[in-house]
Structure 1
Amino acid sequence: MANDGEWDRRSLLRGAAVVAGAAATAPLLGNAMAQADTGDADALFKAGKFEQAGRAYEEILKRDPTNVHAARQRGHVALLVNQFPDAEKYLTMALKLAPSDKDTNQLLGDCYIRQDKFSLSIPCWQAAGGDVRAKWFGALRGRPYQIHGDIARLPWQQMDPTPLVEASINGGPPKRFMFYTGAPWLGMNAEVAREAGLTAVAKQQIDYLDGTAWQYFGVLDSFKLGGIELRNIPVEWTETDQPNPGGANDGIIGTWIWYHLLTTFDYAGRSLILRRRTPETARKARAEAARAGAKPLPLWLGHEHEVYSKGSIAGSGPGMVGLSIGGVGEIAAAMSEETAKRLRIRIDYDRPLETFAHSHPVVVYPCYPKEIRLGDAVAKGVYCNANPDSRPSRSGFDTLGAFFHPFYKPYNVTLDFTDMKLYIARGKAT
């Protein structure tokens, strides 16, 4: 991460796709669940019991309306499920109590950009030290993320090492893009940006692999994915002399694109299905999932782009898991070494893997849980990784780990950011 809090290009790293989930997850602490039953609001939040945590924070605020932490956390709970009125209400309350609080400003800035209120987010990023982001969003004019078209079905150009789809930039010839929910925005390489005539409105230098890279930020007129076109959207491009571990592609599509649409990652059908987000398309998605026997799972959106649901690893019982859909890698899941040990998962310490996470070298170890599960979707005895150098989740709650690209191959996965539900069903999407 760069000094002002902007994301680096670790989302494109092969190593990051292998271990980012474990690097971004904290050990699932046993005492968090025990403390959750005491009604402690922070313990409830940490354990992923967000509804209970929200009510507990409200009780604190009834007793002490000046409690900045409780107001901020109550807003954070609402933001995780895109309940924007409540998120704005409580985060604004916290900001009035502590105008310079960086955490509150970042959360409120995220709340605004999820609603395409980029101009309102600018003071938040400035207060949080995100000057690059403030300049970037200040360059947007008119309504961002204008959606034209109703549906697109894009065949994948390849499955491994990363799925690729074709897209057109500013009406130009098709380019090959990888996609990854572990990445935030739409990004591309410098050559593609030059061909599209993009102009940088902000830039920063970041650490990247064994060297450095320059990130540039601008506004793209048109990004077309089959029958869906998005206009006036923020875009990033990178210039570096380091090799691209993601292989031969022209860029990456992140979660900011996906949450503007009803998105189905049809692994079994090797296609990407995009629909305009409306109550009607959400209803159809629910009906299609029901016909396929897929029960709705909860969906949370944390720290601007990180997708979470409830899953389990090695019989752990339901817990928070990250969903790293797309990207690059051979592992089905990543977890902390502590979690693997606690769940008595076999770790192969004789075969360390030297890779990168968060743009820094890290050593992880193969591990083999008997089962990993997301709803009725199951993988048994599958190759995973345990990371001894795990970091706490940026969103502040415990996770079991993250599920990666190979896990989803027999299934189709739909992310509904209207009702905040996840649907995963075996076989091709209808």
Structure 2
Amino acid sequence: MADDRQADGRQWDRRSVLRGAAVLAGAAATAPLLGGAATALAGRADADALFKAGKFEQAGRAYEKILKTDPKNVHAARQRGYVGLLSNKFPDAERYLKMAIELAPDDKDANRFLADCYIRQDKLALSAPHWQAAGNEGSAKLFAAFRGEPYQIHGDIAQVSLTQMDPKPLVEGVSVNGGPLKRFTFYTGAPELQVSATVAKEAGLSPVVSSKMDYLNGRVWRYGGVLESFKLGGIELRNLPVSWMEWESGGDVDTDSDGMIGMWVFYHFLTTFDYAGRQLILRRRTPETAGKVRAAAQRAGAEPLPMWLAREHGLHSRGSVAGVAGSGTGVVGVLFGGHSEVAGIVKGETAKQLQIRIDHDRPVETFASSHPAVAYPCYPKEMRLGDVAANGIYCFTNPNSPLAPNGFDVPAAFFHSFHKPNNVTLDFTDMNLYVARGPAT
């Protein structure tokens, strides 16, 4: 399980159950992308500039050029591996990340990237020593505990209704370890499957790892373990990571649902978030189902958008945000589910440069990554993802959010409310995102 502060080893997992507008932290703390096309030049500064601008393929070639003349360049090897990982090109990612680790065995980022590379391929045990080297002892211990094939998929499709849309989406009919049916929410800004402390007890879960941490305005115990069975509609997953939390004083942290489905579940399927049709659809990933998705997208006029996955669960695509002074177009964060009424976030610097209207008179005291944060309502002239756009929509801007925690600039992140008129399908094999207005067909 990914660690927000893995460098110092104090925390074993990412905070992911949300309150209020905690989704401000999202997958994409944002930054402006206002310049013209970057030129692919060799040299670290130019390669890094290409990467920062979201020109990943060009950056990859520039890092390769560096390595031809300087084969012991750890930074170039690590970054080239990261470029491969963003697009789920696992052979490339493994080759260059192993090269970086051979040159610098204690490089925490290279080890974390390689651990993530193995996680995405369901090679959980292989990831353990790299989590350890990255300073994430809890994840190392958890994934070393897995035996047999993880994420075993039984069934071909789960098509379940969204029984509630706000303040967060809910699906019913979830069974944990064969137990009674439960209500679950979902959020792609979180990694693993989560259950409540009550459900964990009912399901007979035993923690493999545990830690105490600050959460919202209190302290919680967080546990990680191995779940035998998770069933949703016609799909059952077996042998998968799970986490749960309880207050230090005891009791469930979240009483609005029985658990939350995170990104690690969704990227095992062709996943459709059919907001307009109020349903969640999970299909087994096969050439046939992928072909049907592409055909449906073509009928709806939806062109495939590129998709990138950063830091275990940070989903990105290509989009734009516009203001009075122009448009920031490039890599954007894309999140589904969660707990927020806003359509997205716009980085404070971007909002300022684009002259997006900000309501400074009405600060919102909220939480970001479970820590207190102050945001301000803002209203971009347009937010666009593919052919789908929203004009003057209600967003937040957080002037204190980090510029580029994943190493590349992002002008905006698109949240739950933006997607309501649409259906969106995520294809993690070809790394394409399809978005269209109206219900899925």
> Shared topology, TM-score over 0.5?
yes
Equivalent position of 2:140 in the other structure: 134
User: Structure 1: 5+ residue runs without aligned partners?
Assistant: none
Maintained 8 Å contact 1:156/1:164? yes
Q: TM-score w.r.t. structure 1 length? A: 0.96
Aligned partners of 2:301 and 2:437: how far apart in 1?
9
Maintained 8 Å contact 2:40/2:59? no
**1:345 equivalent in alignment to 2:317:** no
Alignment partner of 2:431 out of 416, 420, 423: 420
Equivalent position of 1:391 in the other structure: 402
Equivalent position of 1:223 in the other structure: 230
**1:71 equivalent in alignment to 2:71:** no
Query: For 1:12-54, what per-residue CA distance to the aligned partner results, in whole angstroms no more than 9, with x for missing partners?
Result: 222312x2249x41422657x5765655100000000000000
Equivalent runs, 1:287-326 vs 2, <5 Å: 287-314=295-322, 315-326=326-337
Aligned partners of 1:136 and 1:57: how far apart in 2?
34
Maintained 8 Å contact 2:382/2:390? yes
After TM superposition, give the deviation of residue 392 of structure 1 in Å. 3.2
Equivalent runs, 1:80-229 vs 2, <5 Å: 80-166=86-172, 167-229=174-236
**1:262 equivalent in alignment to 2:260:** no
Equivalent position of 1:20 in the other structure: 25
Aligned partners of 1:328 and 1:71: how far apart in 2?
38
Maintained 8 Å contact 2:246/2:253? no
Aligned partners of 1:244 and 1:389: how far apart in 2?
31
Maintained 8 Å contact 2:22/2:368? yes
Aligned partners of 2:63 and 2:403: how far apart in 1?
22
Query: For 1:218-260, what per-residue CA distance to the aligned partner results, in whole angstroms no more than 9, with x for missing partners?
Result: 1000000100000000100111159989661011111000000
2:327 is paired with a residue of what secondary structure?
coil
2:163 is paired with a residue of what secondary structure?
coil
1:243–1:351: structure 2 CA closer, same or farther, 3 Å change rule? Answer: farther
Maintained 8 Å contact 1:162/1:246? no
After TM superposition, give the deviation of residue 371 of structure 1 in Å. 0.7
**1:275 equivalent in alignment to 2:283:** yes
After TM superposition, give the deviation of residue 173 of structure 1 in Å. 1.1
Aligned partners of 1:388 and 1:293: how far apart in 2?
37
Aligned partners of 2:266 and 2:210: how far apart in 1?
25
Instruction: Give the RMSD, CA atoms, in angstroms.
Output: 1.8
Aligned partners of 2:262 and 2:375: how far apart in 1?
25
Report the residue type matching 2:212 in the other structure. Answer: Q
Aligned partners of 1:6 and 1:157: how far apart in 2?
33
1:277–1:138: structure 2 CA closer, same or farther, 3 Å change rule? Answer: same
1:83–1:376: structure 2 CA closer, same or farther, 3 Å change rule? Answer: same
1:150–1:10: structure 2 CA closer, same or farther, 3 Å change rule? Answer: closer
- Seq. identity, %: 63
Q: TM-score w.r.t. structure 2 length? A: 0.93
1:347–1:317: structure 2 CA closer, same or farther, 3 Å change rule? Answer: closer
Aligned partners of 1:416 and 1:223: how far apart in 2?
22
Query: For 1:43-70, what per-residue CA distance to the aligned partner results, in whole angstroms no more than 9, with x for missing partners?
Result: 0000000000000000000001000000
Report the residue type matching 1:188 in the other structure. Answer: V
1:346–1:428: structure 2 CA closer, same or farther, 3 Å change rule? Answer: same
Maintained 8 Å contact 1:265/1:413? yes
2:22 is paired with a residue of what secondary structure?
helix
Aligned partners of 1:393 and 1:176: how far apart in 2?
35
Report the residue type matching 2:439 in the other structure. Answer: K
Aligned partners of 1:14 and 1:82: how far apart in 2?
32
Alignment partner of 1:361 out of 369, 372, 380: 372
**1:251 equivalent in alignment to 2:255:** no
Aligned partners of 2:250 and 2:364: how far apart in 1?
20
Maintained 8 Å contact 2:40/2:62? no
Equivalent position of 1:404 in the other structure: 415
Query: For 1:274-322, what per-residue CA distance to the aligned partner results, in whole angstroms no more than 9, with x for missing partners?
Result: 1001122111111110011111100001100010000000152531110
After TM superposition, give the deviation of residue 375 of structure 1 in Å. 0.4
After TM superposition, give the deviation of residue 157 of structure 1 in Å. 1.6
Equivalent position of 2:12 in the other structure: 6
After TM superposition, give the deviation of residue 165 of structure 1 in Å. 1.0
Aligned partners of 2:19 and 2:139: how far apart in 1?
22
Aligned partners of 2:190 and 2:337: how far apart in 1?
10
